[in-house]
């Protein structure tokens, strides 16, 4: 009903051209049928294959003037008031000065003839000649309650076909939340697929729905969908971070809180587990994980970099509720004066989005170099908290060895975790994993099973970053000591 009221208001505002960018063409036509009856105006629809047809009344087959210039000429010349839907007209405006001129002349004569053009396409680039005569209208997207009803409608439809279904009502609520941002048609198709794929609606359908939603929204580019989320059982240490996130886990009790969690900054040395922690947040909260590639934002054309970022953030809002992982955020913000102000504009765009967003997008930003981060991003209020991910201590290193040994199905009786932890002092989690992998290849080459001696030997050959970049790490620790929360303890 809101769409009908809003579109009626737009058409009553004496706007000659209305642009509707959508894939739901049939929904637009049905909506305009109801609006035309309120306004007492005839409604016509045109496409390159069907020509012009009266759609508000059954008038029989009326196919004529299938050529774009001809139909515009006919609309311009007729004295009958009316609303004219032109479907997929965007190719006939680009580089077509005659059609643009005809649209402008129809707009200029609106006061006397009352011809309203409704341009319906998946996307429409409005030529500057007619921009001031146009109004944009956006179809509303279904809310959570409507999506729940839509899912149950699909359940009833499949059951009426004689199929027995197992429906978890809590999974329906979760699916509805994750379908937000899609059109009615797209949500209906994904819900139906979730039902018929396994004959049930369970929490296992959430991942499939998130992947399908990402593909439908066409996010490929600087924004990537991370299929491999994790959980904190695969992350050693980070006890403070885990507790902080646990207290803020989305639930029925926190849903109506005014101050929803916004995001965190994970600062630390490379390989310390920041990326794995970002994945674990999504796994813990059962939300899709989107990764924003800051390096992929940059474009040689002026304005395109900022446009890429705005588009990525808009799509993240559409994927809400989700986790947005901005990896190595300093790489996109440290251009200084050498990039013609691009990094400054990127920072401004990010800060504005962080301050104004209403969607449930939890941002996890990771950084290795604190000196490259602007102070505006660091102040309280931008992020909920700043966590420092230090190198693992003795206890955490033992846990890391245990996790990787179990993941690779190694015989734990062959290893002394205490000795391995002592030999790997100063190692990051990533360096420990790489030492294990190298030792496995060494053992395979010598046709023996991986054991303590081989693994210790591999650790002894490795020079960790804590040695190679000792001064830089010391400076980072000193800065973080009284400015951040230790993620481990």
- Whether residue 241 is found in the same domain as residue 378: yes
Return d(Cα 402, Cα 32) in angstroms, integer: 64
Among 86-100, 229-243, 435-449, name the one with the lowest average pLDDT: 229-243
Residue 481 within a domain: no
Q: Which two tokens stand for residue 181?
A: 């941002």
Both 244 and 376 in one domain: the answer is: yes
**Same domain for 245 and 380:** yes
In a domain, 374, yes or no: yes
Both 306 and 343 in one domain: the answer is yes
CB 114 within 8 A of CB 14: no
What is the rounded average pLDDT of the residues 346-373? 85
8 Å CB contact between 38 and 53: no
List the single range of 17-21, 171-175, 210-214, 241-245 with lowest mean pLDDT.
210-214
Q: Tell me whether residue 356 is in a domain.
A: yes
Share of the chain above pLDDT 90, in %: 29
Confidence of residue 64 (pLDDT cuts 50, 70, 90): low
The pLDDT, as a whole number, for residue 126 is: 92
pLDDT band at 253 (very low <50, low <70, confident <90, very high): low
* pLDDT given at position 310: 84
User: Residues of the chain with pLDDT > 70: what percent?
Assistant: 91
Do 422 and 350 have their domain in common? no
Give yes or no: residues 236 and 385 share one domain. yes
Among 85, 78, 76, smallest CA distance to 33 is for: 85
pLDDT confidence bin for 300, thresholds 50/70/90: very low
Is it the case that residue 489 has pLDDT exceeding 70?
yes
Tokens (6 digits) for 372: 């490259």
Nearest-angstrom CA–CA distance, 204 and 208:
8
The answer on pLDDT for 273 being more than 50 is yes
101 belongs to a structural domain = yes
**pLDDT score, position 446:** 87
Domain membership of residue 211 (yes or no) is yes
Residues 383 and 398 in one domain: no
The confidence score (pLDDT) of residue 306 equals 78
Please tell me whether residues 51 and 20 are part of one structural domain: yes
Cβ count near 247 (within 10 Å): 9
Question: 169: domain CATH number?
Answer: 1.10.8
Residues 376 and 229 in one domain: yes
Residue 288's nearest CA partner among 253, 260, 325 is: 325
pLDDT score recorded for residue 334: 63
CA distance 212 to 198: 16
Return the structure tokens found at 369. 């170099």
**Average pLDDT of the segment spanning 57-74:** 74
Which of 355, 374, 389 lies at the terminal end of a domain, its last residue?
389
CA 229, CA 218: separation in Å to the nearest integer? 20
- The predicted-structure confidence for 106-147, as pLDDT tens digits, reads as follows 999 999 999 999 999 988 989 999 999 999 999 888 888 999
When mean pLDDT is compared across 142-146, 245-249, 267-271, 341-345, the lowest value belongs to 341-345
Domain count, the chain: 4
CA distance 86 to 52: 9
- Looking at residue 148, its pLDDT comes to 92
Residue pair 43/56 in contact (Cβ under 8 Å)? The answer is yes
Mean model confidence pLDDT for the chain: 85
Ranges 50-54, 129-133, 336-340: which has the least confidence: 336-340
Both 242 and 307 in one domain: the answer is yes
* pTM to 2 decimal places: 0.68
* 83 lies in the same domain as 124: yes
Rounded to an integer, the average pLDDT of 271-289 is: 84
Residue 89 has pLDDT above 70, yes or no: yes
- Does residue 294 carry a pLDDT above 60? yes
Q: Do the Cβ atoms of 351 and 377 come closer than 8 Å?
A: yes
Q: Quick check: is 476 in a domain?
A: no
Q: Is residue 280 predicted with pLDDT exceeding 60?
A: yes
3-state DSSP of the chain? CHHHHHHHHHHHCCCCEEEEECCCHHHHHHHHHHHHHHHCCCEEEEECCCEEEECCCCCCCCCCCCCHHHHHHHHHHCCCCEEEEEECCHHHCCCCHHHHHHHHHHHHCHHHHCEEEEEEECCCCCCCCCHHHEEECCCCCCCHHHHHHHHHHHHHHHHHCCCCCEECHHHHHHHHHHHCCCCHHHHHHHHHHHHHHHCEECCCHHHHHHHHHHHHCCCCCCEEEECCCCCHHHCCCCHHHHHHHHHCCCCCCCCCCCCCCCEEEEEECCCCCHHHHHHHHHHHHCCCEEEEECHHHCCCCCCHHHHHHHHHHHHHHHCCCEEEEEECHHHHCCCHHHHCCHHHHHHHHHHHHHHHCCCCEEEEEEECCHHHCCHHHHCECCECEEEEECCCCHHHHHHHHHHHHHHCCCCHHHCCHHHHHHHCCCCCHHHHHHHHHHHHHHHHHCCCCCCHHHHHHHHHHCCCHHHHCHHHHHHHHHHHCCCCEECCC
Tell me the backbone φ, ψ of residue 24, rounded to 5 degrees: -90, 65
- Is pLDDT at 293 greater than 80 in this prediction? no
Q: What is the pLDDT of residue 449?
A: 87
Task: Give a yes or no: residue 487 inside a domain.
Answer: no
| Domain presence at residue 461 | yes
**End of a domain among 193, 216, 239?**
216
pLDDT 10s digits, 204-228: 888 888 888 877 766 556 678 777 6
Domain that holds residue 416: 394-468
Q: Do 244 and 328 lie in a common domain?
A: yes
The pLDDT assigned to 60 comes to 53
Last residue of a domain, one of 160, 184, 216: 216
What gap in Å lies between CA 56 and CA 356, rounded to an integer? 42
pLDDT surpassing 80 at residue 234 = no
- CATH number of the structural domain spanning residue 322: 3.40.50.300
* Greater pLDDT, 465 or 155: 155
| Greatest CA separation for the chain | 93
User: Quick check: 286 and 203 in contact, CB under 8 A?
Assistant: yes
Would strands 134-136 and 17-21 be described as parallel, antiparallel, or unpaired?
parallel
The yes-or-no verdict on residue 336 having pLDDT over 60 is: no
User: Residue 347 has what pLDDT?
Assistant: 84
């Amino acid at each position: 009903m809101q769409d009908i009221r809003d579109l009626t208001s737009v058409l009553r505002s004496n706007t000659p051209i209305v642009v509707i960018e959508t894939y739901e063409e049939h929904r637009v036509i049905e909506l305009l049928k109801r609006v035309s009856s309120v306004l007492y105006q005839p409604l016509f629809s045109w496409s390159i294959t069907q020509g012009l047809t009266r759609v508000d009344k059954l008038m029989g087959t009326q196919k004529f003037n299938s050529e774009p210039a001809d139909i515009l000429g006919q609309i311009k010349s007729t004295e009958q008031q009316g609303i004219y839907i032109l479907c997929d007209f965007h190719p006939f405006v680009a580089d077509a000065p005659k059609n643009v001129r005809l649209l402008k002349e129809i707009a200029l004569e609106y006061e006397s003839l009352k011809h309203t053009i409704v341009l319906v396409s998946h996307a429409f680039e409005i030529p500057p000649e007619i921009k001031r005569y146009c109004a944009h209208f956006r179809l509303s997207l279904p809310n959570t309650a409507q999506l729940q009803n839509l899912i149950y409608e699909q359940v009833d439809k499949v059951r009426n076909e004689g199929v027995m279904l197992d429906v978890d009502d809590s999974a329906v609520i979760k699916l509805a939340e994750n379908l937000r941002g899609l059109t009615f048609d797209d949500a209906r198709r994904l819900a139906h697929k979730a039902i018929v794929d396994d004959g049930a609606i369970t929490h296992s359908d959430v991942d499939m729905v998130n992947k399908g939603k990402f593909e439908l929204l066409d996010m490929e580019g600087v924004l990537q969908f991370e299929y491999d989320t994790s959980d904190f059982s695969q992350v050693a240490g980070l006890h403070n971070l885990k507790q902080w996130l646990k207290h803020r886990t989305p639930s029925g009790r926190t849903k109506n809180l005014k101050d929803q969690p916004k995001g965190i900054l994970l600062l630390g040395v490379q390989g310390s587990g920041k990326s794995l922690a970002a994945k674990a947040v999504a796994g813990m909260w059962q939300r899709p994980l989107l990764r924003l590639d800051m390096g992929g934002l940059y474009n040689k054309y002026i304005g395109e970099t900022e446009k890429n970022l705005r588009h990525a953030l808009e799509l993240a809002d559409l994927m809400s509720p989700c986790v947005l992982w901005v990896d190595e955020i300093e790489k996109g913000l440290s251009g200084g004066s050498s990039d013609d102000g691009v990094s400054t504009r990127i920072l401004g765009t990010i800060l504005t989005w962080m301050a104004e967003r209403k969607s449930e997008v939890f941002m996890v930003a990771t950084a290795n170099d604190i000196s490259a981060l602007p102070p505006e991003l660091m102040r309280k209020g931008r992020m909920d908290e700043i966590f420092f991910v230090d190198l693992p201590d003795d206890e955490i290193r033992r846990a890391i060895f245990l996790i990787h040994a179990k993941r690779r199905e190694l015989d734990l009786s062959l290893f002394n975790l205490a000795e391995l932890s002592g030999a790997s002092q100063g190692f990051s989690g990533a360096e420990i994993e790489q030492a294990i992998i190298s030792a496995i290849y060494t053992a395979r080459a010598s046709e023996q099973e991986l054991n303590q001696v081989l693994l210790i030997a591999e650790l002894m050959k490795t020079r960790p970053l804590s040695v190679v970049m000792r001064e830089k790490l010391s400076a980072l620790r000193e800065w973080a000591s009284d400015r951040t929360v230790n993620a481990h303890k």
